[in-house]
Amino acid sequence: MKVTTDRFRQTALEELANARTQKFLQILPLRLSARRQEAYGSFSDPEAAHRLGQAIRGEALARLPELLETFERNALANGAKIFWAADSQAANRYIADLARSKGARYVTKGKSMITEELGLNDHLAQCGISAWETDLGEFIAQLLEKPPFHIVGPAINIPVEQIRDIFLEKGVLDQPTLDPVTLGRAARRFLRDKFRDLQMGITGVNIAVAETGTVINVENEGNIRFNKSAPKTLVCVMSLEKVVPTLADALHQLRVLCRSATGQAAGAYISLDSGPKKADETDGPEELHIVILDNGRSAIYQNRHTREALRCIRCGACLNACPVYGKVGGYPYGWAYSGPMGQVLTPALRGLAETGDLIRACTLCHRCKTICPAGIDHPGLLLHYRNKDVQADPLLQGRGADPRERLAHRLFALAGSRYTYWRIFSKVLSRAARLFGKGAMLRGLGPLGRGWFLSRDLPAPAKKSFHERWRQRKD
């Protein structure tokens, strides 16, 4: 997957002008938010349930190293194999070597953001192994080489004509049709052939349970269950923050995850795997490999601010709440994670060098923070990133402030330091505003501050300042 976080602005402008995108954005986030709200009503105390979910994630992070060791011990006792991957390369190499050693010509994948983060499909392709996405939305997005539009509906915005054409081109469909259900059935048949003869399946992990060494996946289609049941080798890739202390914690987190993601009390299928199949069992993997991925997470864990991004459970509720996502959709975020989730995760994982627009595409309205079942303070974290960016923080690869912006701030500080300076400054500014302003709003100052005014305006300053009017008062 191509990373296009540095093209946020251009992609956002394209998407703002895309009528189809706008149509979906007017419906999808609102509908999902309403469903979530309704689903939370089934809790005996929705607010307490929300806070318990947040507390579980908080405790999971606070106890992370200990929980990972416990998880590893129990998963090994269950008969799973554990591979600790320092980065994408290590994880990709391990998975490709495994596929090769099993003689797999192709693998299938359950929907997982983590393998998108790894760029696993591209790596496997380079090794001569095809990787098939099996979630319908991901399958379409993969064929069209598009990033996910929404975490819950990765290709929900794609016109049926485009799906028909790509399905015909790739041999998924025989007869042209524009019926979504017929298109879905064609994908079912195509992928069913892959599942039947599958050597190795790959899934992500929604929750890992320390006390039992169990990995849990949530889905609606059944493709993850096929990946976990049909082949003799199964690889589950988990980012290291997925672990929670107990099975009871996992059950509660499942409740908030399903409600937050799709407004369901439960996804159609939730599978809990503790080790490979037992010798006398008919199906299921003979080998279960669990890849624990770091990829920069242990580094951001050092900082108590950036660590907070690791609370995320990938439900997508923040996308539906976000006024910016609600206008631009998922593509501008340029990587596996979109919306506020992406705005806190992507800079933490990829640094600030190419994510400067991501951390600023936020009005600090706090809706994501309020709705987040994991307890992330997105706006606080974005302010932290902005600070690290202008400070040129080496760990996060901050770019440093623009010299012109720094100069503007210096001059502004100087102007505010003495009354006489301030009077001159406000006089000049108000003249300039009258010169460039049109009507009641100020939308630019000629050559000055073009970037600032690109997405902002100001009420035009009054002709006379308060102080001038005070001096001229008649009483």
Partner 1 sequence: MVLNAREEILARLKSAPPASVAGRPELPPAREMALDAGQLAARFEEQLAAQGGIAMHAADETALLAKLEEILRQESVSRAMAATDAVLAPLALESWGQQVGIEIVTPSAFSDRDGYTRAVFDQVQAGITGADFAVAESGTLVLVHDELQPRLVSLAPLVHIAVVPRARIVPTYEAAILSLFDGRRPSQVTLITGPSMTADIQATPFKGMHGPQKLFVLLLG
By CB under 8 A, the residues from 117 to 176 that bind partner 1 are 134-137, 140, 153-156, 158-160, 163
Q: Does 320 bind partner 1 (CB under 8 A)?
A: no
> According to CB under 8 A, which residues from 188 to 217 bind partner 1?
188, 191-192, 195-196, 212-214
Query: Given candidates 9, 165, 284, 395, which one binds partner 1 under the rule CB under 8 A?
Result: 284
Query: Given candidates 124, 183, 238, 336, which one binds partner 1 under the rule CB under 8 A?
Result: 183
- Tell me how far, at minimum, the Cβ of 281 lies from partner 1, in Å: 5
- Least Cα distance to 150 among 321, 367, 347 occurs for 321
Q: Does 45 bind partner 1 (CB under 8 A)?
A: yes
Q: Which is nearer to partner 1, 104 or 240 (CB)?
A: 240
Q: Amino acid letter at 49?
A: A
Strands 207-209 and 214-219: what pairing? antiparallel
- Tell me how far, at minimum, the Cβ of 324 lies from partner 1, in Å: 21
- Least Cα distance to 270 among 189, 209, 210, 342 occurs for 209
Q: Does 97 bind partner 1 (CB under 8 A)?
A: no
- Tell me how far, at minimum, the Cβ of 100 lies from partner 1, in Å: 17
Query: Given candidates 228, 311, 314, 378, which one binds partner 1 under the rule CB under 8 A?
Result: 228
Q: Which is nearer to partner 1, 65 or 451 (CB)?
A: 65
Contact region with partner 1 (CB under 8 A), list: 41-49, 339-347, 359-367, 445-453: 41-49
Token pair 């194999």 is at which residue?
81
Q: Which is nearer to partner 1, 62 or 411 (CB)?
A: 62
- Least Cα distance to 85 among 284, 238, 313, 300 occurs for 238
Contact region with partner 1 (CB under 8 A), list: 38-46, 335-343, 349-357, 424-432: 38-46
Q: Does 426 bind partner 1 (CB under 8 A)?
A: no
CA distances from 332 to 80, 176, 312, 397 (A): 38, 31, 20, 21
- Least Cα distance to 199 among 118, 98, 90, 270 occurs for 98
Query: Does residue 261 contact residue 138 with C-beta atoms inside 8 Å?
Result: no
Q: Give the number of residues in contact with partner 1, rule: CB under 8 A.
A: 97
Q: Does 33 bind partner 1 (CB under 8 A)?
A: no
- How many other C-beta atoms lie within 10 A of the C-beta of residue 286? 13
Cβ partners under 8 Å of residue 324, min gap 6: 361, 362, 363
Cβ partners under 8 Å of residue 323, min gap 6: 363, 365, 367
Q: Which is nearer to partner 1, 176 or 180 (CB)?
A: 180
